[in-house]
Amino acid sequence: MSTFHDSASGSQPYKDPTPLPDNIPKVQELGATSAPLKSAAFFIGAYCKEYNEDFMLCKNESRGDPAHCLKEGRRVTRCATDLITKMRENCLEKFDAHWNCLELNNQEYFACRKPERALNKCMFDKLGLTKTIPGSPQGKTPIHEVASPVYTTVQR
């Protein structure tokens, strides 16, 4: 006998176990949590710029259809995975220090400038990637390089 189950009121969210159809190539999901992603965000933006822009243009063209941009989406994920792997190969300690700091500080960048600068320096030396914030005022020190900022944590 079948009964009605409201999936919205279940104790567990409903998970559809069906895998992707076989005609779609498989890609390993990135699987990083929010703090490592936030730590790596500007490097993902710098390293995967073309793939990201391509994907977003495709999304704009498809008006929300998820089937339309699967190929571009796989490229985006592969590129991000590639970058995270490279970061872990080259700057593992600095990366770990920064995202652990973010994890402990409500994921605020301003609270973690010291590990961030170490990570930025390592990323520039090893991979040639720099953190740039688009749209920040010309001719001023970018916010992540200000020596004595007004906003800091209570405990230095």
Options 1, 11, 59, 129; binder of another protein; rule CB under 8 A: 59
Q: Is residue 143 near another protein by the rule CB under 8 A?
A: yes
Contacts of 59 (CB under 8 A, 6+ apart): 68, 69
- Residue 43: both structure tokens together: 């490097």
| Region 104-123 residues binding another protein, contact defined as CB under 8 A | 109-110
Find where tokens 């009605």 sit.
4
5: CB partners within 8 A, 6+ apart:
none
CB of 90 to another protein, least distance (A): 20
Q: For another protein, which is the closer residue by CB, 69 or 122? A: 69
Contact residue for another protein among 33, 56, 60, 104 (CB under 8 A):
56
Q: What are the helix (H) ranges across 15-155?
A: 34-47, 49-62, 70-90, 92-104, 113-127
Residue numbers of the site for another protein (CB under 8 A)? 4-5, 7, 14, 16, 18-21, 24, 27, 29-30, 37-38, 41-42, 44-45, 48, 51-52, 55-56, 59, 62-67, 69-70, 72-74, 76-77, 80, 109-110, 133-137, 142-144, 146, 149-151
